[in-house]
Amino acid sequence: MSVGPTMQDAMPSYDPVQRAETARLRAETRLAGTIADFFLDADARLDDRTRLMLAQVLGAIVGSIEWDIRRHAARLLAGSGATQAGEAILKAGAGLKAGAGTVLQRLTRAGLLRDEDLMDELIARVRHDLIAASLPVEVAEPDEASLLVRLAGVPDSVVASAASALLAAESRRRVANEQGAVGGSELPAELHHRLVWWVAAAIRDGLTSPTRESDRAITDAAQRSLAAHDEGERPDAVATRLAAALDARPNELAAVLVESIGDRRLSLFVAVLAHALGVAFDQARAITLDPEGDRLWLALRALDMDRPTIARIGLALSEADPRRDIEQFADALDAIVSIGVEDARASIAPLALDRDFRMALRALARTERR
């Protein structure tokens, strides 16, 4: 007489040999990572605060894209009568292959998230936001409104509109950082495109029984995510539009740069610097975030910034970024100011080259050093 499944039948199979091998491989991987971390130069190692926020931002971006794709794919399948397939996609983790882990873990194990362009953008964004939040506030007049608020109220509608948009964009970013969630990827279009398809592939790879219908639904949902992405809403892009609208003249530039820093508007500082130098936002951001500061001082001298302006910018950044050596900056200030404007312009001229051209030159240089 049958009495139903036994306890042994209900328990998942346990292969001790396989479990032991899996544990051994995991221990080897962990040891390799620990060794690599130990031998990292101190200036290459992320501090705990940056590491934590980077993990938070990356997880939030991947999670946001994943949820959008799962939800819309499930909706498409339910609309065509494939409700069960839609539920399998919607339940994050429920339909994943045994041991596959989350989408974030799957992409990490596959090495896709080690993409240099993606991590460069995310690390720069995190460092930018942390430094911006730590900048000392310097108010020119106690009762005067902040720079962006004043710009949002000027008669020039182009400037006012861009300033209002930047206020809104930075507010969204600040709330997202505080809450550990994002409303969108806020990545440049090329990187967003790359990440969307990686996430879509990981979702599909996690299904126990993928079908032609589920593949089509995931593909359509990914394409919807791509179509909805507007990189022009990113704070970087909005700040760039505002800097172009302001088009600060040489006699106005120092005041705008100093007040942007004093107002904790690092995006605007970077954008104004980029516009004045004729370089891309990411290039100006890179030289601003560089803890040594050599390229930033050269850039400021190329714009004929004087000693007080460079000193105020350097001191503010030194207070906000623990990687900077304020005493070293003070000792080097005389030498920085002594650099001729034309010499400084010649030294930073490569920054204005086309990005793809610069990348090609770097690739050739790496090959020659081998």
With a CB cutoff of 8 Å and minimum separation 6, the contacts of 235 are 166, 169, 170, 173, 186, 267
pLDDT, position 176: 83
Query: In 3-state terms, the chain is what percent helix, strand and coil (to 5)?
Result: 75, 0, 25
Any domain includes 89: no
pLDDT, position 94: 46
Residue 273: burial class (beta carbons within 10 Å; 0-12, 13-18, 19+): buried
Q: Say how far apart CA 226 and CA 235 lie, in whole Å.
A: 19
Residue type, 226: L
Q: Which residue range is the domain that position 257 belongs to?
A: 137-178+233-362
pLDDT, position 207: 86
Any domain includes 291: yes
Any domain includes 84: no
pTM score, two decimals? 0.85
Residue 172: burial class (beta carbons within 10 Å; 0-12, 13-18, 19+): middle
Any domain includes 355: yes
Any domain includes 173: yes
Helices (H), the chain: 7-10, 16-38, 48-79, 83-90, 103-109, 116-134, 147-152, 157-179, 189-205, 212-228, 235-246, 250-262, 266-277, 281-289, 294-302, 307-320, 326-337, 341-348, 355-369
Any domain includes 97: no
Any domain includes 145: yes
Any domain includes 23: no
3-state SS, residue 304: coil
Q: Say how far apart CA 325 and CA 307 lie, in whole Å.
A: 18
Q: Which of 74, 58, 209, 79 is nearest to 122 (CA)?
A: 58
pLDDT, position 81: 86
pLDDT, position 191: 94
Provide the residue-wise pLDDT of the chain in tens; the chain has 370 residues: 444 444 444 444 557 778 877 777 778 878 887 887 778 777 778 888 999 999 999 998 998 899 999 999 999 999 988 888 888 888 744 444 433 458 999 999 899 999 999 999 999 999 999 999 999 987 666 667 889 999 999 999 999 999 999 999 999 888 888 877 665 668 999 999 999 999 999 999 888 888 899 999 999 999 999 999 988 889 999 999 999 999 999 999 999 999 999 999 999 999 999 999 999 999 999 999 999 999 999 999 999 999 999 999 999 999 999 999 999 999 999 999 999 999 999 998 888 888 788 778 877 877 666 6
Q: How many domains are contained in the chain?
A: 1
